Amino acid sequence: MKLKLSPGIRLTIAALGLGLVLPASAAGGIAYVSNQKGNITLIDLTSFEPAGEIDIGGASPRGIGVTADGKLLVVAARDKGDLAVIDLQTRKVIKRIPIGKNPEFVRVRGDQAFVSFEPASEGGPPPKPGSKEEIELRKKRVEDKEEPARIAIVDLKTGKKTAEIVGGMETEGIEFSSDGKKIIVTNEADENLSVHDIATGKLVKKIGTRPYGHRPRGVKVAPDGKAYVATIEHGNKLVVLDVDFNVIKAVATGETPYGVAFNRSGTRVYVALAKGKSLQVFDTANYQTVAEWPTGDRCWHFTFTPDDKHILAACGRSNEVVILEVASGKIVKRIPDMKQPWGVVTTPKAFGSLDTP
């Protein structure tokens, strides 16, 4: 007697027997981690075990994003000055899109990718704020009329850069306005946030951050669209802005805040403390600290899992991904032997310092 199996059962048996990779939706989700000194590491979000690597050609990957349909991963390749587009079914690079010198931050929205890059970048860590080296660097930039950073707008369907928005010196974080018409960027060396019209590229507003410290880094819009937050790395501050981009509050944080994200309900905001080696949690009703969870060394970016139950933090200086349980703040796992992890996103898409569902 020949046993008839449904297509779903046949797929499951085939996958179990042949070691095939199931789609992310069937397997509970996948996290993708960019390693500045390596490849893209995949982490299974059911087992929290490494699930393979994607090689983008030794290009020092940093910024990373995923399309809403979960089909494409896009990665800023610093050493090649381009954007690597990866087919997540085959896990192969299918396009390389020229961007410019030193591409870093990536945000994906619809069929477009927004990528910051720095024509004037010299590479390496910036000098200490207020130091003689920093003053000389600022003077040199003025004298040499160095170009500010830009945000490349890339059409992922055609694989071409379609426009550029001029930011400030050393543009870092990227966020979209609540109405979807504007882009907000943090300009590290210019000590400001700038707001630009996406359609025209025109500057709408500048928000100076020097009164709160040096080097604005991360920026996020609240889920209800009524507020924005930005981290000031060398000021140990989180600034809160209203819907019109006015600073309404400056909140003290732990040491060197970097990546920032709201939870799904908007009741909490989470800040990665790079030198503080922890994830700081604030109640958005009053921006009081409600928790501080130990992580690793220099955790720049992080993401929730799609079910909101865990957080994965990419800790660049301790070469690990740290996984925390949201309900308790406890570390449930450390994935060691990474190669200076920088960013992390998931499929299905989740809330995090680099992405939003």
In Å, what is the CA distance from 98 to each residue of 81, 152, 173, 313? Answer: 6, 10, 20, 29
Buried b vs exposed e over 125-152: b needs ≥16 C-beta within 10 Å?
A: ebeebeeeeeeebeeebeeeebebbbbb
For the domain 57-169, what is the CATH code? 2.130.10.10
- Give CA angle at 31 (272, 342), nearest 5°: 45
Assess whether pLDDT exceeds 90 at residue 341: yes
Which DSSP state fits 149? P
Q: What is the pLDDT averaged over residues 331-350?
A: 98
Integer Cα distance of 76 and 82 in angstroms: 6
pLDDT of residue 26: 38
In Å, what is the CA distance from 5 to each residue of 10, 14, 18, 197? Answer: 6, 12, 17, 55
**24-54+261-357 and 57-169, same CATH topology:** yes
The proportion of the chain whose per-residue pLDDT surpasses 70, expressed as a percent, equals 85
Segment 42-95, tens digit of pLDDT: 999 999 999 999 999 988 999 999 999 999 999 999 999 999 999 999 999 999
Farthest-apart Cα atoms in the chain, separation: 85
Integer Cα distance of 115 and 164 in angstroms: 9
Integer Cα distance of 142 and 140 in angstroms: 5
pLDDT of residue 140: 52
Q: What is the pLDDT averaged over residues 87-116?
A: 97
Q: Which of 13-27, 95-109, 191-205, 243-257 has the lowest mean pLDDT?
A: 13-27
Q: Establish how many alpha carbons lie within 13 A of residue 108's alpha carbon, considering only the half-sphere containing its beta carbon.
A: 27
Q: Which of 126-140, 143-157, 233-247, 288-302 has the lowest mean pLDDT?
A: 126-140
Q: What is the pLDDT averaged over residues 333-342?
A: 98
In whole angstroms, how large is the CA radius of gyration of the chain? 20
Do 307 and 31 meet the contact criterion of CB atoms below 8 Å apart? no
pLDDT of residue 184: 98
Do 204 and 191 meet the contact criterion of CB atoms below 8 Å apart? no
Assess whether pLDDT exceeds 50 at residue 194: yes
Do 85 and 97 meet the contact criterion of CB atoms below 8 Å apart? yes
Residue 133: band (very low, low, confident or very high) from pLDDT cuts 50, 70, 90: low
Assess whether pLDDT exceeds 50 at residue 224: yes
Residue 5: band (very low, low, confident or very high) from pLDDT cuts 50, 70, 90: very low
pLDDT of residue 347: 97
**Burial of 243 (C-beta count, 10 Å sphere; 0-12/13-18/19+):** middle
Residue 129: band (very low, low, confident or very high) from pLDDT cuts 50, 70, 90: low
**Residue 290, token pair as written in the block:** 């409600």
Assess whether pLDDT exceeds 60 at residue 14: no
Assess whether pLDDT exceeds 80 at residue 177: yes
pLDDT of residue 19: 38
Which DSSP state fits 23? P
Q: Establish how many alpha carbons lie within 13 A of residue 190's alpha carbon, considering only the half-sphere containing its beta carbon.
A: 21
pLDDT of residue 146: 76
Does the domain formed by 24-54+261-357 have CATH 3.65.10.10? no
Give the residue among 154, 152, 188 at the shortest CA–CA distance from 170: 188
Give the residue among 235, 214, 129 at the shortest CA–CA distance from 172: 214
Do 232 and 209 meet the contact criterion of CB atoms below 8 Å apart? yes
Give the residue among 27, 78, 30 at the shortest CA–CA distance from 54: 30
Domain extent listing, the chain: 24-54+261-357, 57-169
Q: Which of 15-29, 186-200, 248-262 has the lowest mean pLDDT?
A: 15-29
Segment 159-175, tens digit of pLDDT: 999 999 999 999 989 99
Going by their DSSP bridges, the two strands 341-347 and 320-325 should be labelled as unpaired
Its pTM stands at: 0.88
